[in-house]
């Protein structure tokens, strides 16, 4: 008889590089698994697809950190670093109905399919401009020179941040990224700067409303929708925060997955070269598959049991944190055929990359658009793109919720700008 392998080591550097074998072990042996996180907080990890989908939609699991059972000193460890001290807690990731319903209805107007489709030419313009800046060099770091600035500038445009302020935003957002998993103070400082800037921008825009998202939030609060200034700043903050890091990781992880699989990458490149409806259809399924295969969000944001409940056969007590492991659910063989294989043609693909239920990612249409434009333009304009380092030299950012690369050094045949 074989002895059962010991519980795998979670949250170390080796795990960060490839967490999928550990998740496979948990799905099989301990699908709802109690663990101590690097922060010292104890939480349940939910790793199977069926349990994950149930947990994401279970209204007994609250998003409000006020339900956390730990003493006050532990409470600051369960959200976005810095948001508590910057008084930015009243946003969509931290609240439940009815406040969640009210705020989501307001903001969802910015992310309708029509609004997002109208934004495509701007995303294409940003994408081409960023590639123009390094195309003639024959080498680039695709995270810092491409995947990072693209969603920052896009979300700034959508929020209505003036062009002359966008580089400041880029710098503050960079601090949030660079300090992820590092000293908490750096993130907190940049969060406070962003909050102060957003409050100031809300004041300035009151006298000069436009067609942007912040103007829309101001109009809503002025027309009896009862959006406080604090809520408006918190909403703008979470749209920025959730809107840029997920897209950086979608572009970075997605590009790496394609570089690692020449067959699938060649199939997509051939289709894009031909163009037409077939290319559009393949690009759609490709982005969904990249979201499933190695998606930008590893764990769904925090949930807290408001009453005792049973999840995957485990008894979860009142106030205990629950973290749904989207990356594991998306590789569950009970749900997906050959889950560890990248298949850009995959049709049956109800992945949980953007969550499920009332907290399904509001910005998913924009992230999908940015992912499609970025990946298709890279493959078309730099057809012989390849990694410039050995795979084992790539480093993943520390941090609990997101999954993303620190750098992605590539080389290609230098091209003069079209």
pLDDT tens digits, residue range 172-229? 888 776 644 444 456 677 778 888 888 888 888 888 888 888 888 787 766 656 667 7
Mean per-residue pLDDT, 333-344: 98
Angle between helices 149-159 and 229-260 (to 10 degrees): 150
Confidence check: pLDDT of 81 > 60: no
Average pLDDT over all residues of the chain: 86
Laid out side by side, the sheet with 386-387 consists of 139-141, 409-411, 386-387
Between strands 42-46 and 321-324, the pairing is: parallel
Q: Do residues 353 and 246 lie in contact, with contact meaning Cβ atoms separated by under 8 Å?
A: no
Confidence check: pLDDT of 97 > 90: no
Query: Mind listing the pLDDT tens digit for each residue in 122-168?
Result: 999 999 999 999 999 999 999 999 999 999 999 899 889 999 999 88
Residue 213's CB is within 10 A of a number of other CB atoms, namely 23
Confidence check: pLDDT of 71 > 60: no
- Residues forming a β-bridge with 43: 35
Q: Which of 164-178, 224-238, 391-405 has the lowest mean pLDDT?
A: 224-238
* Structural domain boundaries in the chain: 13-411
30 token code pair: 């301990």
63 token code pair: 């998003």
Q: Do residues 404 and 249 lie in contact, with contact meaning Cβ atoms separated by under 8 Å?
A: yes
Distance between CA atoms of residues 30 and 45, nearest Å: 9
CATH class, 13-411 region? mainly alpha
- pLDDT at residue 4, rounded to an integer: 63
Mean per-residue pLDDT, 351-368: 83
- pLDDT at residue 182, rounded to an integer: 46
User: Would you call the peptide bond into 356 cis, given omega within 30 degrees of 0 as the criterion?
Assistant: no
Which of 80, 69, 81, 137 lies closest to 319 in space, CA to CA?
Answer: 69
């Amino acid at each position: 008889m074989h002895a059962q392998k010991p519980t795998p080591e979670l949250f170390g550097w080796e795990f960060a590089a490839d967490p999928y074998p550990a998740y496979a072990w948990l799905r099989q042996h301990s699908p709802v698994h109690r663990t101590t996180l690097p922060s010292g907080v104890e939480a349940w990890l939910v790793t199977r697809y069926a349990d994950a989908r149930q947990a994401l939609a279970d209204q007994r699991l609250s998003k409000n950190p006020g339900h956390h059972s730990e003493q006050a000193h532990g409470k600051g460890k369960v959200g976005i670093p810095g948001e508590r001290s910057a008084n930015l807690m009243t946003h969509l990731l931290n609240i439940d109905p009815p406040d969640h319903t009210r705020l989501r209805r307001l903001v969802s107007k910015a992310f309708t399919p029509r609004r997002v489709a109208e934004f495509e030419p701007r995303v294409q313009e940003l994408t081409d401009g960023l590639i123009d800046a390094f195309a003639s060099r024959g080498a680039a770091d695709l995270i810092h020179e491409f995947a990072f600035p693209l969603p920052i500038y896009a979300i700034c445009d959508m929020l209505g941040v003036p062009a002359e302020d966008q580089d400041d935003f880029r710098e503050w957002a960079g601090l949030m990224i660079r300090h992820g998993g590092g000293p908490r103070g750096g993130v907190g400082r940049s969060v406070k700067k962003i909050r102060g800037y957003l409050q100031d921008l809300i004041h300035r825009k009151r006298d000069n409303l436009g067609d942007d998202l912040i103007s829309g939030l101001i109009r809503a609060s002025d027309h009896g929708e009862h959006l406080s200034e604090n809520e408006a700043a918190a909403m703008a903050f979470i749209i920025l925060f959730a809107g840029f890091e997920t897209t950086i990781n979608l572009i970075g992880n997605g590009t790496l997955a394609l570089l690692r699989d020449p067959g699938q990458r060649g199939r997509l490149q051939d289709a894009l070269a031909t163009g037409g409806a077939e290319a559009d259809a393949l690009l759609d399924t490709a982005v969904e598959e990249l979201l499933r295969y190695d998606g930008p969000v590893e764990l769904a944001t925090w949930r807290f049991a408001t009453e005792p409940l049973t999840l995957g056969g485990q008894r979860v007590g009142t106030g205990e944190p629950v973290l749904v492991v989207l990356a594991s659910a998306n590789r569950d063989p009970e749900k997906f055929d050959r889950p560890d294989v990248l298949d850009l043609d995959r049709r049956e693909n109800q992945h949980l990359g953007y969550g499920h239920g009332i907290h399904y990612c509001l910005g998913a249409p924009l992230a999908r658009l940015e992912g499609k434009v970025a990946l298709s333009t890279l493959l078309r304009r730099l057809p012989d793109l390849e990694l410039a380092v050995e795979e084992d030299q790539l480093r993943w950012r520390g941090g609990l919720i997101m999954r993303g690369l620190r750098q992605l050094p590539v080389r290609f045949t230098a091209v003069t700008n079209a």
